Amino acid sequence: MTQSHPTSGAEPDPACPVSLDFLGQVYRADEEDLPEILEAMPALTRAKLAVYLYGKSHMHQLGLRVARACEREDLVRVAGEIGSVVHGQSQMKPARPAVPTPAAPAPAKKISLGGSMSKRSFD
């Protein structure tokens, strides 16, 4: 049995509203550069991209970051009630990671060096 490997690179997802090159640019952008990249897009395309990314489990957080650059009305226009949910979640402050609390030390066990009275034999 032979296995074929694509030679032309990744296949575009027909549901993705932007080119693979642009998607890669958004994916690799840091916090400071992303707003500038997103600003260059038409508003409805940006909203479609936010909803598309939000729907991918491995890009959910990136979808929320893109949605922060969108108007609620645009998100609702492209995705209905889901767009409203995406907008609401994008406006929430990210949860801070929980700081682990130090574990309480286990209480010290009492140790007897004398052994049990029932095991002693008295002569």
pLDDT in tens, 48-72: 999 999 999 899 999 999 999 999 9
Distance CA 22, CA 70 (A): 17
Residue 4 located in a structural domain: no
Answer whether residue 39 is part of any domain: yes
Is 37 domain-assigned? yes
Count of domains forming the chain: 1
In a domain, 1, yes or no: no
User: Pick the residue with more confidence: 109 or 36?
Assistant: 36
The closest of 75, 113, 78 to 91, measured between CA atoms, is 75
pLDDT given at position 123: 56
User: What values do phi and psi take at 49, rounded to 5?
Assistant: -65, -40
With respect to residue 34, please indicate whether it lies within any of the assigned structural domains. yes
What's the whole-model pTM score?
0.66
Q: Is residue 67 a part of any domain in this protein?
A: yes
pLDDT recorded at residue 7 = 46
Residue 55 belongs to domain spanning: 20-91
Structure tokens at 2: 């032979």
Q: pLDDT tens digits for 16-60?
A: 899 999 999 999 999 899 999 999 999 999 999 999 999 998 999
Is 77 contained in some domain? yes
Q: Which two tokens stand for residue 112?
A: 């007897």
Fill in the amino acid letter for 16: C
SS3 97: coil
**What is the rounded distance in angstroms from the CA atom of residue 107 to the CA atom of residue 96?**
32
Residues 46, 17: Cα–Cα separation, whole Å = 8
Q: Where are the alpha helices (DSSP H) in 2-122?
A: 20-28, 34-39, 43-54, 60-67, 72-79, 81-91
User: Residue 72: inside a domain, yes or no?
Assistant: yes
The residue assigned the tokens 């400071």 is: 32
